[in-house]
Amino acid sequence: MSNGAAIYLRLSREDRDLDISESISNQRMQLMQYAETHGIHIDAIFSDDGVSGTRWEREGLHAMLRAIEDGWIQTVLVKDLSRLSRDYIRTGELLEQWFPAHGVRLISVGDVLDTDVPSAAMDYSPFRAVMDDWYARDISRKVRAAIYARQKAGFCTSASLPYGYIRGEDGIHTAHTDVITRIFDLYEHGMSCCGIANTLSRLRIAPPNHGNACWNDVSVRNILCNPAYTGRLRLHTTQKISYKCGKRKRLPESEGVVYEVPQIIPLLQFERVQEMMQKRAHIPRQQHWASGRIFCGCCGARYMLAHERGGIRLICGGRKRGSKCGNPSVLLKRLLEDITSALTEGCIPMADIILPQIAERIVLFPEQAEVYLRCASSQ
């Protein structure tokens, strides 16, 4: 068992803008000086630069926690508790439970806190954690209000613009207008979204998301439904559920802000296309129990269910989006037969009936060599 010591450094974007003394280099210098003065040998330095303390998924933090679990680190130095976390629940969990359970000594230099030395600072640490959390909440509220004020004042605050628009020094300009107009014209002349996507891919036109190898029906449909091409870019359409959560909720249309951009598609043509899309819309099928539960064992993509005359066929979603995954498609009926046979051989009764209820995730491998089933219960 090693008795190593580590330094943890963190700086968020907001901290970087507010105070240069909070920089990663200054935190490192201060903690190294403290360690040298107190005879502590530093074996490792972990850092997260530009990451909010409200986020738990931090690469540097989790690397340090893994090193502690492996027995390499038993002493941790931070500038103050807010560097460790601005979530008072997480801070309390680390300080009161996780670190003591792993025999870790925590030193917070700015808070004059050393868990090996009983002091009043330990008694006040929960209140410090709450104040650090409140600070993150207050900053989030102020930033959101400032962004909304800029939007109302006529500034475009969108981090990314729709396909066909680029940001210039003197405003927003159009790009790929010929592609946008071709998509609307082809759809008006009766071509489907999949047909348009295949046409654009054959012409080797770069798709909106360069991470995809080719166009798909979703990217085409997103363009056809976006009112920005009529010259009205909608801002403030969604908002984070919480400053601690990355999930977003859609806001009422009355709260949105419209930013004027150069028009690419005439308003009448856009409205005609919307009417055509509503007329062509299919009645959604009832969701199949296997939807979202089958994953490709090669690339990890979720399998898509395609309804055919012979039954439901499973197709690798990554392969359909243009990736190089070579996992072939398979009939769902064939997969269920294989799984049912395996469950029956394992003396599980009525496997064909209970399978939809117990199957939480099925990983499909090439040629049906192996099927792994993680059950939701111990039936």
Among 75-79, 124-128, 188-192, 290-294, where is mean pLDDT lowest? Answer: 124-128
Same-domain pairing of 18 and 127: yes
Same-domain pairing of 186 and 235: yes
Task: Name the nearest CA neighbour of 73 among 156, 166, 1.
Answer: 1
3-state secondary structure of 246: strand
- Domain membership flag for residue 148: no
Query: What is the span of the domain harbouring residue 205?
Result: 154-280
Same-domain pairing of 348 and 275: no
Task: Name the nearest CA neighbour of 40 among 99, 107, 98, 100.
Answer: 107
Same-domain pairing of 168 and 268: yes
pLDDT, greater one: 101 or 296: 101
**In the chain, % of residues over pLDDT 90:** 21
Q: What is the pLDDT of residue 377?
A: 38
CATH number at residue 19: 3.40.50.1390
Same-domain pairing of 42 and 110: yes
Q: What is the DSSP letter of 97?
A: I
- Domain membership flag for residue 165: yes
Same-domain pairing of 121 and 163: no
Among 4-8, 159-163, 313-317, 362-366, where is mean pLDDT lowest? Answer: 362-366
Q: What is the DSSP string of 14-36?
A: HHHHH-GGGSHHHHHHHHHHHHH
Is pLDDT above 50 for 21? no
pTM: 0.48
Number of domains in the chain: 3
Phi–psi pair at 260, nearest 5 degrees? -75, 125
Question: Would you place residue 61 in the very low, low, confident or very high pLDDT band (cuts 50, 70, 90)?
Answer: very high
Same-domain pairing of 167 and 256: yes
CATH number at residue 262: 3.90.1750.20
Among residues 115, 143, 171, the one where a domain terminates is 143
Same-domain pairing of 136 and 158: no
- Domain membership flag for residue 52: yes
Tokens of 59: 């690469």
- Domain membership flag for residue 180: yes
Among residues 280, 310, 344, the one where a domain terminates is 280
Mean pLDDT of the chain: 79
Helix (H) or strand (E) holding 54: none
Calculate mean pLDDT across residues 119-125: 66
Calculate mean pLDDT across residues 315-323: 79
- Domain membership flag for residue 149: no
Same-domain pairing of 301 and 272: no
- Domain membership flag for residue 286: no
In this structure, how many other beta carbons lie within 10 angstroms of the beta carbon of residue 102? Answer: 13
- Domain membership flag for residue 329: yes
Task: Name the nearest CA neighbour of 64 among 80, 78, 46.
Answer: 46
Same-domain pairing of 175 and 56: no
- Tell me the CA distances in angstroms from 105 to 47, 117, 307, one per residue in order: 18, 10, 59
Q: What is the pLDDT of residue 328?
A: 82
Among residues 143, 164, 188, the one where a domain terminates is 143
- Domain membership flag for residue 306: yes
Same-domain pairing of 329 and 231: no
Same-domain pairing of 12 and 138: yes
